[in-house]
């Protein structure tokens, strides 16, 4: 089992370009697994973890409701925002500047074949990262992602998650609000959930800005420990 994970920092990139790049890596891994099975081979499959920051974009998961986008196509243009229907699970979410987005493209045969466990470990990596900032984050029963003050009138989501998996290969991932412009969430019903707000790390800490690379470093540390991964940092 190959537990090496190649970490790539993609910088500030258009959503569609990164989606296409994910699909390419995802397909290469699937093709290798299929070839291994058909030809009784044992060639190693690769694992990747992509970090990126996107321009303003709304994405709707395959099980989502388009009515959860509350603005028109013209209003999207006015806000310099894009909209895509995509092939991950979950409903609608927002990505934009100030958000740390992570896309693990893992062959779970290298780690464990359990999607529920995979999602819980991604959540745990975020929870442990936030704990380093003295923020007590938690899960909300039946709602994937990471939240604050669940069970109170002040419940708010700080990290959204949505994944796709085929033959135990994953893509898409998580979006942690670090310095996000929360006004863009007013244009959607986030994740299709009407009764909970959203928040961002800088707001919770009462600071103007938190360095994204600082948060990424902490998240990587916890991801590696939880998955037993060996990180390979790309230039």
Residues known to be catalytic: 191
The long-range contacts involving 25-30, CB below 8 angstroms and separated by at least 24 positions, are: 25/105, 25/171, 26/105, 26/164, 26/166, 26/169, 26/171, 29/105, 29/107, 29/169, 30/166, 30/167, 30/169
Check the annotation: does 233 bind a ligand: no
Check the annotation: does 81 bind a ligand: no
Q: Which spans in 39-88 are helix H?
A: 73-78
User: Could you give the CA distance from residue 35 to residue 226 in angstroms, rounded to a whole number?
Assistant: 30
Check the annotation: does 32 bind a ligand: no
Check the annotation: does 88 bind a ligand: yes
Q: Per the structure block, which two tokens stand in for 8?
A: 């790539």
Check the annotation: does 156 bind a ligand: no
Question: Reduced to 3 states, what is the DSSP secondary structure of residue 113?
Answer: coil
Check the annotation: does 162 bind a ligand: yes
Question: Reduced to 3 states, what is the DSSP secondary structure of residue 52?
Answer: strand
Check the annotation: does 107 bind a ligand: no
User: Angle 212-227/115-131 helices, nearest 10 degrees?
Assistant: 130
Check the annotation: does 84 bind a ligand: no
Check the annotation: does 91 bind a ligand: yes
| Known binding positions | 88-95, 160-162, 173-175
| Known binding positions for substrate | 88-95, 160-162, 173-175
């Amino acid at each position: 089992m190959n537990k090496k994970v190649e970490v790539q920092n993609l910088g500030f990139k258009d959503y569609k370009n990164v989606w296409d790049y994910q699909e390419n890596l995802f397909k290469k891994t699937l093709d290798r697994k299929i070839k291994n099975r058909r030809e009784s081979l044992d060639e190693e499959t690769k694992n990747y973890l992509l970090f990126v920051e996107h321009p303003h974009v709304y994405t709707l998961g395959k099980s989502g409701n388009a009515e959860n986008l509350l603005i028109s196509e013209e209003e999207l243009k006015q806000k310099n925002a894009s909209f895509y229907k995509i092939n991950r699970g979950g409903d609608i979410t927002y990505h934009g500047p100030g958000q740390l987005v992570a896309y693990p493209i893992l062959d779970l045969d290298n780690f464990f074949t359990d999607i529920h466990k995979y999602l819980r470990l991604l959540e745990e990596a975020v929870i442990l990262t936030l704990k380093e900032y003295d923020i007590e984050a938690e899960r909300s029963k039946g709602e994937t992602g990471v939240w604050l003050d669940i069970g109170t009138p002040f419940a708010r989501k700080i990290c959204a998650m949505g994944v796709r998996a085929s033959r135990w290969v994953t893509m898409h991932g998580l979006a942690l609000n670090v310095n996000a412009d929360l006004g863009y969430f007013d244009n959607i019903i986030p994740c299709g959930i009407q009764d909970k707000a959203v928040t961002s790390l800088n707001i919770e800490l009462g600071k103007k800005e938190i360095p994204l690379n600082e948060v990424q470093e902490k998240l990587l540390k916890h991801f590696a420990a939880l998955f037993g991964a060996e990180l390979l940092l790309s230039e």
